[in-house]
Protein backbone atom coordinates (compact mmCIF):
# COMPACT_ATOMS: atom_id res chain seq x y z
CA UNK A 1 0.00 0.00 0.00
CA UNK A 2 1.39 3.46 -0.79
CA UNK A 3 1.76 6.14 1.86
CA UNK A 4 -1.26 8.24 0.89
CA UNK A 5 -3.50 5.13 1.02
CA UNK A 6 -2.03 4.20 4.41
CA UNK A 7 -2.83 7.69 5.70
CA UNK A 8 -6.38 7.61 4.28
CA UNK A 9 -6.96 4.26 5.99
CA UNK A 10 -5.51 5.58 9.28
CA UNK A 11 -7.86 8.60 9.18
CA UNK A 12 -10.94 6.43 8.61
CA UNK A 13 -10.00 3.95 11.36
CA UNK A 14 -9.21 6.77 13.79
CA UNK A 15 -12.61 8.40 13.17
CA UNK A 16 -14.39 5.09 13.83
CA UNK A 17 -12.49 4.47 17.07
CA UNK A 18 -13.13 8.02 18.25
CA UNK A 19 -16.88 7.73 17.56
CA UNK A 20 -17.02 4.51 19.55
CA UNK A 21 -15.33 6.15 22.54
CA UNK A 22 -17.67 9.14 22.46
CA UNK A 23 -20.86 7.08 22.29
CA UNK A 24 -20.05 5.05 25.40
CA UNK A 25 -21.70 6.60 28.42
CA UNK A 26 -20.68 4.21 31.17
CA UNK A 27 -17.83 5.06 33.54
CA UNK A 28 -14.54 4.89 31.67
CA UNK A 29 -10.88 4.86 32.51
CA UNK A 30 -9.11 6.85 29.82
CA UNK A 31 -5.35 7.06 29.40
CA UNK A 32 -3.80 10.11 27.76
CA UNK A 33 -0.41 9.65 26.12
CA UNK A 34 0.80 13.21 25.58
CA UNK A 35 3.86 13.92 23.51
CA UNK A 36 5.59 15.93 20.85
CA UNK A 37 5.97 12.67 18.90
CA UNK A 38 8.78 14.04 16.75
CA UNK A 39 8.60 11.26 15.58
CA UNK A 40 6.47 8.66 17.41
CA UNK A 41 8.30 5.35 18.05
CA UNK A 42 7.94 1.96 19.72
CA UNK A 43 8.98 3.38 23.13
CA UNK A 44 5.82 5.54 23.17
CA UNK A 45 3.58 2.74 21.91
CA UNK A 46 4.92 0.06 24.24
CA UNK A 47 4.60 2.38 27.24
CA UNK A 48 0.97 3.26 26.45
CA UNK A 49 0.08 -0.40 25.92
CA UNK A 50 1.77 -1.47 29.17
CA UNK A 51 -0.18 1.17 31.12
CA UNK A 52 -3.47 0.23 29.42
CA UNK A 53 -2.94 -3.40 30.25
CA UNK A 54 -1.79 -2.86 33.83
CA UNK A 55 -4.61 -0.50 34.88
CA UNK A 56 -7.29 -2.03 32.67
CA UNK A 57 -7.95 1.22 30.80
CA UNK A 58 -10.81 1.38 28.28
CA UNK A 59 -8.91 3.56 25.83
CA UNK A 60 -5.67 5.43 25.28
CA UNK A 61 -5.85 8.80 23.58
CA UNK A 62 -2.58 9.83 21.94
CA UNK A 63 -2.31 13.58 22.11
CA UNK A 64 0.28 15.14 19.80
CA UNK A 65 1.25 18.54 21.13
CA UNK A 66 0.61 21.56 18.86
CA UNK A 67 3.16 24.14 20.04
CA UNK A 68 4.99 22.58 22.99
CA UNK A 69 6.29 25.29 25.36
CA UNK A 70 9.33 23.26 26.40
CA UNK A 71 10.84 22.47 22.99
CA UNK A 72 12.78 24.66 20.58
CA UNK A 73 10.80 25.37 17.42
CA UNK A 74 13.81 24.68 15.20
CA UNK A 75 13.85 20.96 15.98
CA UNK A 76 10.11 20.30 15.69
CA UNK A 77 8.51 19.50 12.37
CA UNK A 78 5.03 20.63 11.34
CA UNK A 79 2.25 19.51 13.70
CA UNK A 80 0.20 18.03 10.82
CA UNK A 81 3.03 15.60 10.06
CA UNK A 82 3.37 14.62 13.74
CA UNK A 83 -0.40 14.12 13.96
CA UNK A 84 -0.47 12.00 10.77
CA UNK A 85 2.42 9.82 11.96
CA UNK A 86 0.68 9.29 15.30
CA UNK A 87 -2.54 8.25 13.58
CA UNK A 88 -0.63 5.81 11.39
CA UNK A 89 1.28 4.39 14.37
CA UNK A 90 -1.86 3.82 16.45
CA UNK A 91 -3.98 2.39 13.61
CA UNK A 92 -3.52 -1.31 14.44
CA UNK A 93 -4.49 -1.10 18.14
CA UNK A 94 -8.24 -1.01 18.78
CA UNK A 95 -7.67 0.72 22.14
CA UNK A 96 -5.55 3.55 20.70
CA UNK A 97 -7.01 6.76 19.29
CA UNK A 98 -5.26 9.94 18.16
CA UNK A 99 -6.73 13.30 19.11
CA UNK A 100 -6.38 16.60 17.24
CA UNK A 101 -7.42 18.72 20.25
CA UNK A 102 -3.93 20.09 20.85
CA UNK A 103 -2.83 20.54 17.25
CA UNK A 104 -5.99 22.60 16.58
CA UNK A 105 -5.44 24.91 19.54
CA UNK A 106 -3.85 28.32 18.93
CA UNK A 107 -0.88 29.50 20.98
CA UNK A 108 1.26 27.39 23.31
CA UNK A 109 -0.02 23.93 24.17
CA UNK A 110 -0.43 23.34 27.88
CA UNK A 111 -1.62 20.06 29.37
CA UNK A 112 -3.89 21.86 31.82
CA UNK A 113 -6.04 23.20 28.94
CA UNK A 114 -6.28 19.71 27.47
CA UNK A 115 -7.28 18.12 30.76
CA UNK A 116 -10.00 20.77 31.29
CA UNK A 117 -11.32 20.12 27.79
CA UNK A 118 -11.27 16.35 28.22
CA UNK A 119 -13.02 16.54 31.58
CA UNK A 120 -15.88 18.43 29.88
CA UNK A 121 -16.15 15.85 27.07
CA UNK A 122 -15.73 12.75 29.24
CA UNK A 123 -17.60 13.81 32.36
CA UNK A 124 -18.04 10.33 33.72
CA UNK A 125 -14.44 9.20 33.42
CA UNK A 126 -11.20 8.88 35.28
CA UNK A 127 -8.28 10.36 33.36
CA UNK A 128 -4.81 8.82 33.58
CA UNK A 129 -2.05 11.02 32.15
CA UNK A 130 0.91 8.89 31.08
CA UNK A 131 4.44 10.25 31.22
CA UNK A 132 7.87 8.73 30.83
CA UNK A 133 10.08 9.07 33.89
CA UNK A 134 12.12 11.87 32.26
CA UNK A 135 9.00 13.98 31.69
CA UNK A 136 7.95 13.33 35.30
CA UNK A 137 11.32 14.50 36.64
CA UNK A 138 10.89 17.80 34.74
CA UNK A 139 7.24 18.31 35.66
CA UNK A 140 7.80 21.23 38.08
CA UNK A 141 7.92 23.64 35.15
CA UNK A 142 4.41 22.75 33.91
CA UNK A 143 1.72 25.40 33.89
CA UNK A 144 -0.70 25.15 36.87
CA UNK A 145 0.84 21.87 37.96
CA UNK A 146 -1.37 21.63 41.05
CA UNK A 147 -4.49 21.81 38.87
CA UNK A 148 -3.10 19.11 36.56
CA UNK A 149 -2.84 16.79 39.56
CA UNK A 150 -6.42 17.60 40.58
CA UNK A 151 -7.79 16.60 37.20
CA UNK A 152 -5.81 13.45 36.44
CA UNK A 153 -4.05 10.49 37.95
CA UNK A 154 -0.49 10.59 36.65
CA UNK A 155 1.36 7.44 35.62
CA UNK A 156 5.15 7.62 35.60
CA UNK A 157 6.65 4.95 33.37
CA UNK A 158 10.22 3.96 34.09
CA UNK A 159 12.39 4.80 31.13
CA UNK A 160 15.88 3.59 30.23
CA UNK A 161 18.59 5.97 31.45
CA UNK A 162 16.55 7.31 34.37
CA UNK A 163 17.48 5.92 37.79
CA UNK A 164 14.46 4.40 39.53
CA UNK A 165 15.66 5.96 42.84
CA UNK A 166 15.48 9.39 41.26
CA UNK A 167 11.94 8.69 39.99
CA UNK A 168 10.73 7.33 43.33
CA UNK A 169 12.11 10.36 45.16
CA UNK A 170 10.41 12.68 42.67
CA UNK A 171 7.10 10.88 43.04
CA UNK A 172 7.28 11.07 46.86
CA UNK A 173 8.08 14.78 46.65
CA UNK A 174 5.15 15.48 44.28
CA UNK A 175 2.77 13.44 46.41
CA UNK A 176 3.71 15.42 49.49
CA UNK A 177 3.70 18.84 47.88
CA UNK A 178 0.54 18.53 45.75
CA UNK A 179 -1.23 15.51 47.24
CA UNK A 180 -0.81 14.19 43.72
CA UNK A 181 -2.13 10.82 42.71
CA UNK A 182 0.83 9.25 40.90
CA UNK A 183 1.28 5.63 39.90
CA UNK A 184 4.62 4.15 38.97
CA UNK A 185 4.97 1.40 36.40
CA UNK A 186 7.94 -0.53 35.14
CA UNK A 187 7.94 -0.83 31.35
CA UNK A 188 10.38 -3.24 29.68
CA UNK A 189 13.41 -1.24 28.51
CA UNK A 190 13.16 0.25 25.04
CA UNK A 191 16.07 2.61 24.69
CA UNK A 192 14.61 4.51 21.74
CA UNK A 193 14.32 8.28 21.56
CA UNK A 194 12.95 10.72 18.98
CA UNK A 195 16.21 12.69 19.16
CA UNK A 196 18.26 9.62 18.24
CA UNK A 197 15.85 8.75 15.41
CA UNK A 198 16.15 12.25 13.92
CA UNK A 199 19.95 12.03 14.06
CA UNK A 200 19.94 8.63 12.40
CA UNK A 201 17.73 9.91 9.58
CA UNK A 202 20.01 12.89 9.06
CA UNK A 203 23.02 10.59 8.85
CA UNK A 204 21.05 8.22 6.53
CA UNK A 205 21.38 5.43 9.11
CA UNK A 206 18.71 2.76 9.42
CA UNK A 207 15.69 3.35 11.69
CA UNK A 208 14.11 0.02 10.89
CA UNK A 209 12.47 -1.83 13.85
CA UNK A 210 12.63 1.29 16.05
CA UNK A 211 9.27 2.63 14.92
CA UNK A 212 6.31 1.23 12.91
CA UNK A 213 7.16 0.45 9.31
CA UNK A 214 4.36 2.67 7.98
CA UNK A 215 5.68 5.64 9.98
CA UNK A 216 9.12 5.00 8.50
CA UNK A 217 7.56 5.03 5.01
CA UNK A 218 5.74 8.30 5.82
CA UNK A 219 9.00 9.93 6.96
CA UNK A 220 10.87 8.99 3.77
CA UNK A 221 7.97 9.84 1.46
CA UNK A 222 7.71 13.35 2.96
CA UNK A 223 11.46 13.80 3.24
CA UNK A 224 11.26 14.61 6.96
CA UNK A 225 14.22 15.24 9.31
CA UNK A 226 16.75 15.58 6.49
P1 LIG B 1 7.40 15.49 25.49
O2 LIG B 1 7.78 16.60 24.61
O3 LIG B 1 8.33 15.07 26.57
O4 LIG B 1 6.98 14.24 24.58
O5 LIG B 1 5.99 15.87 26.17
C6 LIG B 1 5.34 15.00 27.07
C7 LIG B 1 4.03 15.65 27.54
O8 LIG B 1 4.32 16.67 28.49
C9 LIG B 1 3.24 16.35 26.42
O10 LIG B 1 1.88 16.00 26.53
C11 LIG B 1 3.45 17.82 26.71
O12 LIG B 1 2.39 18.64 26.27
C13 LIG B 1 3.50 17.79 28.22
N14 LIG B 1 4.09 19.03 28.78
C15 LIG B 1 5.45 19.23 28.71
C16 LIG B 1 5.99 20.43 29.21
C17 LIG B 1 5.15 21.40 29.77
C18 LIG B 1 3.76 21.15 29.81
C19 LIG B 1 3.26 19.96 29.31
C20 LIG B 1 2.80 22.17 30.43
O21 LIG B 1 1.59 21.92 30.40
O22 LIG B 1 3.27 23.20 30.95
P23 LIG B 1 7.87 13.19 23.77
O24 LIG B 1 7.28 13.05 22.45
O25 LIG B 1 9.33 13.49 23.87
O26 LIG B 1 7.58 11.86 24.61
C27 LIG B 1 6.24 11.49 24.91
C28 LIG B 1 6.20 10.69 26.22
O29 LIG B 1 6.83 9.42 26.03
C30 LIG B 1 6.98 11.38 27.35
O31 LIG B 1 6.25 11.23 28.54
C32 LIG B 1 8.30 10.63 27.38
O33 LIG B 1 8.85 10.64 28.66
C34 LIG B 1 7.85 9.22 26.96
N35 LIG B 1 8.90 8.44 26.29
C36 LIG B 1 9.22 7.17 26.62
N37 LIG B 1 8.74 6.35 27.56
C38 LIG B 1 9.32 5.11 27.62
N39 LIG B 1 10.31 4.65 26.80
C40 LIG B 1 10.80 5.45 25.84
C41 LIG B 1 10.25 6.77 25.71
N42 LIG B 1 10.51 7.80 24.87
C43 LIG B 1 9.67 8.81 25.24
N44 LIG B 1 11.80 5.01 25.05
Predicted local confidence at residue 8, as pLDDT: 97
Pocket flag, ligand 1, residue 86 (CB < 6 Å): no
Q: Are 37 and 98 in contact (CB under 8 A)?
A: no
In a domain, 137, yes or no: yes
Range of the domain at 73: 3-191
- Tally of domains in the chain: 1
Q: Which atom of ligand 1 is nearest to the CA of 142?
A: 22
Pocket flag, ligand 1, residue 64 (CB < 6 Å): no
Predicted local confidence at residue 97, as pLDDT: 97
How far lies 180's CA from each of 2, 147, 153, 170, 176, in Å? 46, 10, 8, 11, 7
Least confident piece of the model among 11-20, 24-33, 50-59, 215-224: 24-33
In a domain, 155, yes or no: yes
In a domain, 123, yes or no: yes
CATH number at residue 173: 3.40.50.620
Q: Are 143 and 149 in contact (CB under 8 A)?
A: no
In a domain, 150, yes or no: yes
Which residues, 6 or more positions from 209, have their beta carbon under 8 angstroms from its beta carbon? 42
Q: Label residue 212 by pLDDT band (50, 70, 90).
A: very high
In a domain, 214, yes or no: no
Pocket flag, ligand 1, residue 155 (CB < 6 Å): no
In a domain, 211, yes or no: no
Pocket flag, ligand 1, residue 110 (CB < 6 Å): yes
Nearest Cα to Cα of residue 155 among 82, 22, 83, 57: 57
- From 68, 136, 192, mutation site for ligand 1 pocket: most ligand atoms within 8 A of C-beta: 68
In a domain, 84, yes or no: yes
Pocket flag, ligand 1, residue 158 (CB < 6 Å): no
For 145-183, how does the pLDDT look when each residue is reduced to its tens digit (9 = 90+)? 999 999 999 999 987 677 778 888 899 999 999 999 999
Q: Label residue 25 by pLDDT band (50, 70, 90).
A: low
Return the biggest CA–CA distance within the chain: 52
In a domain, 89, yes or no: yes
Q: Label residue 63 by pLDDT band (50, 70, 90).
A: very high
Amino acid sequence: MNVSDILKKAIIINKKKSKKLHTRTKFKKIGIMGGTFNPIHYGHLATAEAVRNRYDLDQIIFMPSGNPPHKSKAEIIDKEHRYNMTMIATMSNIYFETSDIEIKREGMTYTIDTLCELKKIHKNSQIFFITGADALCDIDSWKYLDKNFELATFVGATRPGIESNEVNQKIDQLKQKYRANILNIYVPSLDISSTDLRERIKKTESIKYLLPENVEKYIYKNNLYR
